[in-house]
Structure 1
């Protein structure tokens, strides 16, 4: 046998390590609408596409439970969920000695038999009390949509006592029939036989974002007023250009309506979203009256938020040794998250529109 030179051996080891490191996390970012109430989309077709991808984990645009404590009490997301937590705690005042252990115990029980209705009710309550909104929402969704028709008399009484009934849950925006979760991601998780959604939102930068948005909005109102006062002014030309850039052509709009979720996951929709969210966007930097500097501030905070969301996805996916991941987000996040994640050598981005 020929002797292998030390340098050659080192090269072989490096090649072996490179081959080993090619095991990537495949990620599908699904740009979604937060309100699908009037949509004509075939949602089961969307679900089937995602099921065929066989994800190990499904993420939603929910704040990780531990992050709520880091947010100021004035944060809109924290205030909104606190109302729901208070509601559940009022109906269920008993405190568990160890919520974490109880959650694990109940999840284990449901993995062996998903129709333990009371166990699922207890699990939902503990998720609310531990500020895990994603999984609280998911368990209530499962109870109300799949389990409730099979409740016995005692189970129905327990459900009404613990949650106050469907109407109350809808009024509090706990059950959201038109959301992307009720339409797509919760049914997906249920049909996959999984019992958990993973939380990945990042609200750390909400306050500076709001400040930048407020400044931008004020300047844009001045721009709009000048354009309205003089149709021949440079400001009027800026507004006209923004309006033309920020809308679909008729044929494009028709195509979008034929399959909304395919449309929301295109580069064209990403461009439009940036225009809608950033008063026209980067294209209009330097235009007469355009709030260039404050829009730059908005984009900086927006980028930080999306970087935080991507980090939350990667950290949790690696911890679970996941191979395939679905991330449901508002459509405005899809493109920038794909760009951020694509820089990670451990990630392979799969476009939603590539799925069969």
Structure 2
């Protein structure tokens, strides 16, 4: 599966701020269940961006933590550890001055509202957002510097960029520039075309530790089933293992129906995908609960933690949208979240949910 996008013109990057919230006003949420791998040429994704742009969301959310939520994670959390590696990376750069203050960052954003073609304020903002644990907006600024604004960099700008952030190869290694993601190929170009300067985070990772524990138990039992199957494929446990393997086969058969990237996105956002993805992620899913050798209790606990995480994501979307007075928002998430978030959002008061496939 391949995916990508290209922009030739940079439009103004700071639109008008949403009006103050009115309590419990109707909120429409469109969910884009996305692939995390998007490897085609840029123009391939233009139809997807065109469809999303026509929707004209007031806010766009991505599967990133807010800066506040990220900073609250314990030092042992994988996300926090990765962030500390990125901060250490920046501290080793030639530019040793302190990053912008929050007030200076706000001033830089105001300057870019008037002059979106400027380069140096974006370099400073990319650095600021990285130190501030706002990975999504750090990546957005770096996307702009690496794609639509690349031609605007003078030799002096490029030297400053390298001093502050290092070479692009290094930025890719620390995963601040990720050219194959749905953000680099679809969401950041969409924000640029719409003149929106901010991507809103909404991920929730408060449940990582119990999820990882349950997953570890499930994978241990899965491996034991596989080992037993290789010894004797005639047992009831072996039949359970075959059924588990079949879910993976069905998953890839479904996605391999098309090599067309736009069609793949349609497949990812369909009810049929939701069913096979659920089965894949949960070792075969509910249909196998109680089957001989199946890790039923561990998978049930995985499912419980998964719902808690997705409920946290939904809460983050709705809370921020209401704070900003938004009426329609786009939520871009890994495709596995699509069904669970849709079902949870449907239960929230004054929230209407649509999928990417529902858009005209």
Q: Give me the TM-score of the superposition, normalised by structure 1.
A: 0.89
Q: 2:199 aligns with which of 168, 177, 197?
A: 197
1:228 deviates by: 2.2
Q: 1:170 to 1:249 in 2, by over 3 A?
A: closer
CA distance in 1, matches of 2:213, 2:254: 35
Q: Secondary structure at the match of 1:146?
A: coil
- Point out where structure 2 has 5 or more consecutive residues left out of the alignment: 1-21
What does the per-residue CA deviation read over 1:166-219, in whole Å, with 9 as the maximum and x for residues that have no partner? 222122221111111111111111111111100111111101100001111111
Distance in 1, Cα, partners of 2:243 & 2:43: 31
Aligned match for 2:279, one of 275, 278, 282: 275
Cα pair distance change 1:271/1:247, threshold 3 Å: farther
> Residue 353 of structure 1: which of 344, 354, 357 is its match?
357
Query: 1:69 maps to what in 2?
Result: 71
If the length of structure 2 is used for normalisation, what is the TM-score? 0.88
Q: Please show how residues 1-356 of structure 1 align to structure 2 within 5 Å.
A: 23-37=25-39, 42-91=44-93, 92-95=95-98, 99-248=101-250, 252-258=254-260, 259-356=263-360
**In structure 2, C-alpha distance between the alignment counterparts of 1:58 and 1:249, rounded to whole Å:** 29
Question: What is the root-mean-square deviation of aligned Cα atoms in Å?
Answer: 2.1
Aligned mates of 1:28, 1:156 — CA distance in 2: 38
Q: CA 1:218–1:262 in 2, change beyond 3 Å: closer, same or farther? A: same
**Correspondence for 1:10:** none
What is the alpha-carbon distance in structure 2 between the residues aligned to residue 238 and residue 116 of structure 1?
60
Secondary structure at the aligned position of 2:148 is classed as helix
Q: Secondary structure at the match of 1:141?
A: helix
Q: Is the 8 A contact 1:34 1:330 kept in 2?
A: yes
Deviation string, structure 1 residues 122-150 (Cα, Å, up to 9, x no partner): 11111111111110111011111111211
Matched-pair contact (CA < 8 Å) for 1:41–1:261: no
SS at match of 2:97: coil
- Offset at residue 251 of structure 1 (A): 7.8
CA separation in 2, counterparts of 1:234 and 1:298? 24
1:250 deviates by 9.2
| Cα distance change of structure 1 residues 157 and 198 upon mapping to structure 2, 3 Å threshold | same
Do 2:251 and 2:280's aligned partners in 1 also have CA atoms closer than 8 Å?
Answer: no
- Cα distance in structure 2, aligned partners of 1:170 and 1:249: 30
Higher Rg of the two aligned structures: 1
How far is the alpha carbon of 1:79 from its aligned partner? 1.1
Equivalenced residues, count: 336
Q: Which runs of 5+ in 1 are unaligned?
A: 1-19
| Contact 1:32/1:330, CA 8 A, preserved across alignment | yes
> What SS is found at the alignment partner of 2:333?
strand
Partner Cα distance (1:121, 1:39) in 2: 26
**In structure 1, what is the equivalent of residue 11 of structure 2?**
none
**111-120 vs 87-96, which moves further:** 87-96
Kept in 2, the 8 Å contact 1:62–1:200? The answer is: yes
Q: Structure 1 residue 254: deviation in Å?
A: 4.9
1:113 is displaced (CA, Å) by 1.4
Report SS of the residue matched to 1:232.
coil
Name the structure where helix makes up a greater proportion of residues.
Answer: 1
- Taking the aligned partners of 2:42 and 2:113, their CA distance within structure 1 comes to 34
User: Matched residues in 2 for 1:90 and 1:21: separation?
Assistant: 46
